Amino acid sequence: MLLCATRSWASAQTHCWGLPAHKAAQSKPIRIARAGSDATTSAQQVQTESSTAPYSYILPRQAIAMFASGAVLGPFCDGLHSQYDVLHYEHPSVQLQLALGPLHWSFETCWWVPLLFGVAGVIIGVSVPLMDSILHQRSQEQSMQLPAQQAATSDQQQYQQQQGSGSTPDTSWSAVLLCISLFVIQYGLSGLLEKPLLGQTLGNTAVPALDSALAAYALLHWCAFDRMPLGFGMAALTAVCGPLVETWLINGFGLYHYSHAAVLGVPTWIPWVYFCGGPAVGHLGRRVWQELAADAGQQTHSA
């Protein structure tokens, strides 16, 4: 159900920017479909088009799309924590209690929460594809300094090595939606498992069991969907900055509180939830960027 809802939201984002549905369906991840230079050249053309599209066209649309996605997905995930009594707001703007037979669902949030998650979506969802584009342009500029035949051979070998090592992430819609869905699952597990694992450690060590489980999940999530140094750096930066912002909101403004806070008002496992969110938001940003770049390229060719 979650995957279907996310897919519907992604389709709505595509239409919002005037991107035809058939274009989104035809857009595929960069892969070498067969041996030979034709497949490599075709894939490189897609990546080049994405990196050379005008920023003036892409950036404002990218920012709005990522703000909207963060403003929707963020409060939904945050509501999972309030449902499991992990987090509560001091003055919630919205409180819902729904019961369907044995199933109970609660939702708690404030008016500023969508704005905060929206800004976070912009920071990650714009930075990751923008840095991808800048790094690719630099690589092209270096290749242009080589003789034509040597540059072509170097580009082909580099691309094949990236594909063979699995370092190029799959940014198809199916991969992006799966990545986001697994992040939401980790978000929910952090709330579901907090009470059962509270105070428990890993073996004879002092490492909290929940921290270990969420850390392993987050690292496997990055390995499965990103595997790029840039993606790891963004995930690590998110894992540091996210909790710092939370301590500021909790201790400086008293806007909400965690039921089992450990350090400066936040639990020790929360950085791993932020880490897991890095590839999810970054992946979505890459997919939206590619759609916008393809649309910009088509408009340039038709002009």
Return the amino acid letter for 177: L
pLDDT score recorded for residue 241: 96
SS3 266: strand
pTM of the model: 0.76
Token digits for 63?
């920012």
- Strand locations in the chain (E): 87-89, 94-100, 103-109, 256-258
Which of 74, 112, 77 is closest to 91 using CA atoms?
112
pLDDT score recorded for residue 253: 94
User: Would the pLDDT of 49 be above 70?
Assistant: no
Token digits for 90?
């001091």
Which residues does residue 94 pair with via DSSP β-bridges, in sequence order? 109
Please give the average per-residue pLDDT across 85-105, as a whole number: 81
Return the amino acid letter for 34: R
Token digits for 198?
């509270």
Please give the average per-residue pLDDT across 181-209, as a whole number: 92
Token digits for 86?
């992990």
User: Would the pLDDT of 3 be above 70?
Assistant: no
Return the amino acid letter for 112: W
Which residues does residue 96 pair with via DSSP β-bridges, in sequence order? 107
Q: Between 176 and 104, name the one with better pLDDT.
A: 176
Cα dist from 65 to 87, 234, 280, whole Å:
28, 19, 15
pLDDT score recorded for residue 136: 79
Q: Between 143 and 7, name the one with better pLDDT.
A: 143
Q: How far apart are CA 194 and CA 269, in angstroms?
A: 9
Of 36-40, 94-98, 183-187, the least confident = 36-40
Of 25-34, 146-155, 232-241, the least confident = 25-34
Which of 176, 174, 131 is closest to 283 using CA atoms?
176
Please give the average per-residue pLDDT across 117-145, as a whole number: 86
Which residues does residue 105 pair with via DSSP β-bridges, in sequence order? 98
Chain mean pLDDT for the chain: 79
Q: Name the pLDDT band for 167 (thresholds 50, 70, 90).
A: low
Phi, psi at residue 50, to the nearest 5°?
-70, -35
Which of 173, 157, 153, 174 is closest to 165 using CA atoms?
157
User: Would the pLDDT of 164 be above 80?
Assistant: no
Give the percent of the chain with pLDDT over 90.
53
Q: Between 107 and 161, name the one with better pLDDT.
A: 107
Task: Please report, to the nearest 10 degrees, the dihedral formed by the alpha carbons of residues 1, 126, 173, 49 taken in order.
Answer: 170
Give the percent of the chain with pLDDT over 70.
71
User: Would the pLDDT of 40 be above 80?
Assistant: no
- 237 touches 282 (CB < 8 A): no
Return the amino acid letter for 31: R
Q: Name the pLDDT band for 206 (thresholds 50, 70, 90).
A: confident
